[in-house]
Structure 1
Amino acid sequence: MQLQMKPIGLGPLRASKPTVCPVRVQASTHTGTRSRVLPIFNNLKPVFGTGVAPRPAPVVLKRHVSSAAAASVAAGSPAGEPALPKASQTAKIVSLGALFFCSTFCYTILQNLKDSIVVTAVGAEALPFLEAYGVLPLSVCFFMIYGWMNKTLPDKWVYQAALTPFLAFYALFAAVLYPAAATLHPVHLLESIRSALPAGLVGLAGMVVHWSYSLFFCIAELWGGVAISLLFWGLADEVCSISDAKNVYPLLGIIANVGLVAAGAWIKNVNNSLAVGNSVLAVQLLVGTILTMAVFLMTVKGWVYDNFVPTTGAEAEEAHRKKEARLKKEKEADSTPKGGLGDSLGVLKRNPKVGNLAVLVVGYFIVQKLFDFAWKAQLRVFYPQPAAYQSALADVAQWTGIVTMVLMATSKYVFQWGGWTAAALATPLAMLVSGSLFFTSAVAMQGGAGALPPQVVGTLIGVGSIAGMVGRVMTRAPKYSLFDPAKEMVYITMSKEEKNEGKATVDLVGAYFGKSGASWIMQALVLITGSMVKAMPIMGLAHVLVSLAWVKSTLSLGAMMKGTDEAHGHGAAAPAAAA
């Protein structure tokens, strides 16, 4: 899964806890920020991607100074804020980069482990059921618990407290549950009832029978939303000012994708050198890597908190007062009736820009999910063993990181030379072409191209294999360098009222029909056809039709954007300036 570049905006204030600390110079009396509990639908798959926005004023940076300097500042000399030392700024960037690298490294390992274990043991048919009936309920439970942690625990320990249950389960799984899976899973029960079950329910039954694998899948799936979107970006927003964010966040994005590449290399090394033919040892080595990095994560996070988060008593009192006022306001807002799906559909009819944007967002999620499910099912045909499956996923992770870094470096020029339409069309066209080739290959492997000569079918299979890898990369790499910036540029052309209404509508419709819709579509197809493989022709047709609708809406939006630019006299320079 690809990692999001963090947008810059304004975030809520948080209450800092008063502590006793050495004599330090405070660069500002402005309060820190606190991550709010993110809406649950924004944290599913994440992954990986949302976080709270940076604070609106320079963050307080604590640094040790001499007694004379401390006395001088206490006496009121000199006027104005002291400049941050270059060494301190470098330490902040290095520490945040280390946190992001390790979080992404662990995320990549967990993504590979959960998919390889479940798909090779249960089948890809279980994936839509796991996401609907496993990941979603656990996400709701976690964010309820996180809300309680946020209110009751000292700020310094929320990060550690939130990650500890995940790490404890990963350790339990690697040490006990996975080695004893043959004893713990009543596979004989599944075999005895398989003939009585409808073919479409075998995946759901397999999910229940292989309960430890399913539990690991769901808890591993939450890592991206919790460790990266919520905890890491919450800390980054707390210690970085807006001026910091403009320089630091793009660098963090590069570091995160380096983490993808490094994790892919380590997974292949474990499976090909350190644990050849021993799946239990491979899982234990990979989980041991995660636990080791987690200790480093918590240590670095504690150091960042001690050195870059304001903790003085005066600031804590002021922040607490503001936090109480904010919580009261949020409580009042929660009790106010909000527009539902019907109101959102009305906005889509009234505003063509919002309607086309909704098609873009829903189209992306449906196409990406359909391709993911199909590709993982087909990958099992080529790589039926967990180690080989993990290595194939590791190759994709490495290429995803490399392509993302290249697109991040060149996206500005795509907008400048090709304009908004060309940049926005890059993602759907890449997914349409690679997806069409992949699904054609999948149908050919089933014998759907039986009338063709064997050489032609073999060529289709080879092309489809490459197209599958390319499609997997292209469903992620362009999103945060081309698709998301292009989407946000449309909002720039709207009035404030249209922008607020449009964002709320697109987010709601995207959650209803995009993120959840693809899982429900796949469940229906599996129930009707009996397996993911048999559903391939219908999935391929749906993939093409949704992609074409996405392209059509992009072209419509491109015409609207061109008209808006010409009306304001911006011409072709507007997209490049926005990028």
Structure 2
Amino acid sequence: MSTKKEFGNVRGIIFPIYKSELRKFLPMAFIFILISFCYALTRSLKDMNMIKEVGTTAIYWLKAAAITPSMIFFTILYGKVSRSTGRDGRFNAVMIYFLAFFTLSFLFLLPQRELLQLNTFFTIFEARFPNLIALWKAICHWPISLFYIHAEAWGTFALSVTFWTFVNEITAVNQAKRFYSFLSMFAALGSILAGSILKLDSVAEHFHQGLKFVIIAIVLILVIYNYFTADIKANPAYYQIQQKPKKVKIKMSFIESIKFLARSKYLMLLSILVIGYGLVIALFEAVQKDQIEQYTKLTGDDTILAGIYAQQQTAVGIISILVTLFLATPIIKRGWRFAASVTPVTALVMTVLFFTFLRFGDVFDPILKDFHLSSLYLAVEVGIYNVVLIKSVKYVLFDPTKEAVYIPLDEETKVRGKAAVDGVGSRLGKSLASVLITAMSYLFGGGGISGIRTPIVLIIIAVIILWLIAVRTLGRLKAEAEAKHEAELSSANNAQVTK
């Protein structure tokens, strides 16, 4: 156990990392910056492409019909890779796959998308099934849709599964409480960097040009990761702070791992948190993106899209850093349950504010005309900063508290359970949102999102209440699991000393 003196009040808030721990912390931070940069940039590029050429409603048809099956396929593939190779093999395989796809997209799929799209298919099916025009658009523009699917997969597998599995394996429980929120601060730098790239004229005019920066970043990730893990292998005692008891690994297929997840109340509650966030943010962003699409059509300037997403990514990064520096540590010190409740409470407050403005914002139009503004413009701005606040709290508090839940679990549960929760659970929430949006817009909204705002806000509030209930129960189970974990570590260490 460490004998180092605790930090003072100021240092404990600003940067509670020991000098001797920088050898471990900094490589993780640099990798996280680059992965988060790729996540923020590809996330913006996929939305910009879809809004400009396909339409907002088509995004949710795509999510409902294609993304969940794709994520299940990727999860099965990831499970096979994880069973046949070790930690480093998993990480490198995921990164190399995405490197290959984004390179193909940059060189061929997106530049040649007009030649590749299925215009004949669209014309035939638009005439026969006009109510499903958004779905036919998503299929017709398949290069953009395929890129959208892989950009979504990057966030799930490169960030949520692969990176955090690696971090959890080399981070002790006592370090996690200090490391994780500050890793999120470094991730915010990646978001700010992505915002800077989106401001470039070449990217604003030709969205696919942003992918060359993604390709460079993935190459750097591979270099840093393999150098770092080589040092870990050369100095295992330095990195393995706590000797964890070895478990006999039981190989499970994908179906068996899902059944295992269903038998675990602990992981099921964690799934509710992950599904809840995915459902809430997808429903919220559906309305926000609809406002952005209306505004860009009104202005007739597609380059505005890059400016909007650059503003959003930069603001997410800056606010995430401010929250990390001044709020994260005091909040986390209040306990896991309190920290885990901040994200849903923030989402609830921001949702109520945003939908209240949408309902009554047009009363300001007579005043705004004097300033050459409109309620639609303000709706876009309010939507941007509401998303910024929700995502900033998510990155700084939701992600670290979610990852901390895995630490007391055995290795098999971590790998299989994490792949199931983050690989399928995170997509399930967003896909469920897509099914709800497409069904409601088809039945009640005249095919659009603007007409279904009221049911969307009611669903969001109901989901947040369920989310908070799950946090309360999971907090109790987590405390019990940590006590058991510490007892096992103590027993293993005592047995080692006896030998």
TM-score when normalising by structure 1: 0.62
Work out the CA distance in 2 between the residues paired with 1:292 and 1:485: 27
CA distance in 2, matches of 1:97, 1:361: 23
1:238 aligns to 2:169 (yes or no): yes
Which residue does the alignment assign to 1:297? 221
**Counterpart position of 1:572:** none
Amino acid at match of 2:56: A
CA RMSD of aligned residues (A): 4.5
C-alpha deviation, 1:213, in angstroms: 0.7
In the TM superposition, what are the counterparts of 1:404-483 in structure 2 within 5 Å? 404-408=320-324, 409-411=326-328, 425-438=345-358, 459-479=374-394
Q: Which has the larger radius of gyration?
A: 1
Between the aligned partners of 1:109 and 1:397, the Cα distance in structure 2 is 8
1:410 and 1:237 map into 2 onto residues whose CA distance is 23
User: Post-superposition shift, 1:433?
Assistant: 0.8
Report Cα offsets for 1:364-403 as digits up to 9, x if no partner: 5444222211211221222355543122112111111222
> 1:389 and 1:304 mapped to 2: Cα distance?
38
Whole-Å separation in 1 of the counterparts to 2:398 and 2:197: 30
CA 1:326 to 1:526, structure 2 compared with 1: closer, same or farther past 3 Å?
same
Report the alpha carbon displacement of residue 167 of structure 1 after superposing the two structures with TM: 1.4
Q: Distance in 1 between matches of 2:365 and 2:204?
A: 38
Deviations for 1:210-244, whole angstroms, at most 9, x for unmatched residues?
Answer: 11111110011111111112222222223333343
Equivalent residue, structure 2, for 1:71: none
Alignment CA distance shift 1:152-1:483 (3 Å): closer
Letter aligned with residue 397 of structure 1 = Q
Alignment of 1:160-179 (within 5 A): 160-179=92-111
SS in 1 for 2:127: helix
Please say if residues 439 and 537 of structure 1, whose CA atoms lie closer than 8 Å, have aligned partners that are also in contact: no
Q: Structure 1 pair 296/520, CA: closer, same or farther in 2 (3 Å)?
A: same
Letter in 2 for 1:543: I
Amino acid at match of 2:311: D
Matched, 1:391 2:307: yes
Correspondence 1:22-421 to 2 at 5 A: 89-153=21-85, 155-199=87-131, 201-268=132-199, 270-271=200-201, 274=202, 277=205, 279=206, 282-284=207-209, 286-309=210-233, 325-327=248-250, 334=256, 364-384=277-297, 387-408=303-324, 409-411=326-328
Q: Equivalents in 1 of 2:227, 2:427: separation in Å?
A: 41
For 2:467 and 2:71, the matched residues in 1 are separated by 33
**Separation of aligned partners in 1, 2:182 and 2:261:** 39
Residue 458 of structure 2 corresponds to: 545
Once residues 374 and 243 of structure 1 are traced to their aligned partners in structure 2, the CA distance between those partners, rounded to angstroms, is 41
State the alpha-carbon separation in 2 of the partners of residues 359 and 392 from structure 1.
31
Residue 97 of structure 1: how far off its partner (Å): 1.2
Q: Are residues 170 and 482 of structure 1, via their aligned partners in 2, closer, same or farther at CA, if it must alter by over 3 Å?
A: closer
AA aligned opposite 2:154: W
Change (3 A) 1:169 1:531: farther
Say which structure, 1 or 2, has more relative contact order (CA 8 Å, 6+ apart).
2
Q: How high is the sequence identity, in percent, across the aligned residues?
A: 23
Matched residues in 1 for 2:403 and 2:99: separation?
36
Q: Could you tell me how far apart the structure 1 residues matched to 2:345 and 2:175 are?
A: 32
> 1:426·1:482 contact (CA, 8 Å) conserved in 2?
no
Asked whether the 8 Å contact 1:194–1:202 carries over to 2, the reply is yes
Given the superposition, is the C-alpha separation of residues 250 and 88 from structure 1 closer, same or farther in structure 2, using an over 3 Å criterion?
same
User: What is the TM-score with the length of structure 2 in the denominator?
Assistant: 0.71
- Counterpart of 1:577? none
Q: Give unmatched runs, 5+ long, in structure 1.
A: 1-56, 59-85, 313-318, 349-353, 490-502, 565-579
Q: Structure 2 unaligned segments of length 5 or more: list them.
A: 3-17, 237-242, 405-416, 477-499
Q: Does the 8 Å CA contact 2:28/2:167 hold for their aligned counterparts?
A: yes
Deviation string 1:280-332 (CA, Å, 9 cap, x unpaired) is xx523x211111111111111111111113699xxxxxx9x956x3215x679
CA spacing shift, 1:100–1:210, aligned 2, 3 Å: same
Q: Distance in 1 between matches of 2:70 and 2:403?
A: 31
Q: Report the residue type matching 2:459 in the other structure.
A: V
Q: Give 1:198's aligned amino acid.
A: P
**Cα distance, 1:137–1:331 mapped onto 2, change above 3 Å:** closer
State the AA in 2 paired with 1:410.
Answer: L
Count matched residues: 425
Q: Residues 532 and 157 from structure 1, CA distance in 2 versus in 1: closer, same or farther, beyond 3 angstroms?
A: same
C-alpha contact (below 8 Å) 1:238/1:309 kept by paired residues: no
Contact 1:100 1:256 in 2 (8 A): yes
Q: Which residue of 2 aligns with 1:494?
A: none
